[in-house]
Structure 1
Amino acid sequence: MKKITAFLLSLLMLLGVFAPVTATTVQAKSTKNIKVTYTLKKNKKQLAKKTITLKKNATVTDGLKKGWKVTDKGGFISAIDGHKQNNKKKIYWTFTVNGKQVNVSADKKKLHNKDKVVFKLSKYNG
């Protein structure tokens, strides 16, 4: 009986009956992670650039903290790797995702695969 079961299993594998299951499993695993590129700038000078691998549905803050030492409060970033904001001089960290200004805090903004996040430390002219 064991020989017949093994033979049938081998035959089914040869015919490709199990192939779709394997392909689906591999595909599901690969979609659990995303890659996001972060760029840090001080005025117009680039300080750093890294591509970070994150879990799906990660936030901007998740990736930032994975790549650098970060000080934040309530989702607002006040220092990255020792580069601090200066409230008196109106110098702040701001960020964009895919070139667009974001209207939520960094801990609320969800990321997608191949997103590009740019953090910029500069004077606010508002």
Structure 2
Amino acid sequence: MKKFAAFLASFLILLGVFAPATVTTAQASATKNIKVTYTLKKNKKQIAKKTITLKKNGTVTQGLKKGWKVNDKGGFISEIDGHKQNNKKKIYWTYTVNKKQVNVSADKKKLKNHDKVEFKLSKYNG
């Protein structure tokens, strides 16, 4: 019985030493990922919406490609899941992050946890 008590005491001491490290490791890995919500619209109609998990500092393009089939060139999106731009009709994909227009290509725009990205395929009136 004494040997079992000694074993149990040693085990509990070891558990106390290693358990906090496990929790810390789990917390650290959780902060390495972010969740971003993507909404796709064609004109004003919503055609898709997904929440995507990315690594911290992931880009708009990385998240978009995790959720849909995407064609892009130089960070500019030309097609998402078969919905293509039409240069002759001046119909293009544009995007916002947290309802703010972004002036950098999608492959350069880094995201933060809980950002909301909206892509719109619509006629450019400029």
Q: Distance in 1 between matches of 2:53 and 2:7?
A: 41
Matched ranges for 1:47-126 at <5 A? 47-126=47-126
In structure 1, give the amino acid aligned to 2:103.
N
**Which runs of no fewer than 5 residues in structure 1 stay unpaired?**
none
TM-score by length of 1: 0.86
Q: 1:106 and 1:6, CA in 2 relative to 1: closer, same or farther beyond 3 A?
A: farther
Residue 11 (structure 1) shift: 4.8
Identity over aligned pairs, percent = 80
TM-score by length of 2: 0.86
Size of the aligned set, in residue pairs, is 122
What SS does the corresponding residue of 1:104 show, helix, strand or coil? coil
Q: Distance in 2 between matches of 1:68 and 1:75?
A: 15
Q: 1:73 and 1:13, CA in 2 relative to 1: closer, same or farther beyond 3 A?
A: same
Structure 1 segments of 4+ aligned residues over 2 angstroms from their partners? 5-14, 16-23
Paired position in structure 2 for 1:10: 11
Residue 21 (structure 1) shift: 2.4
**Which runs of no fewer than 5 residues in structure 2 stay unpaired?**
none
What SS does the corresponding residue of 1:46 show, helix, strand or coil? strand
Residues 26-67 of structure 1, C-alpha deviation per residue, up to 9 Å, x if partnerless?
110111211111000011000100111111121100011111
In structure 2, give the amino acid aligned to 1:108.
K
Q: Distance in 1 between matches of 2:54 and 2:34?
A: 5
Residue 10 (structure 1) shift: 3.1
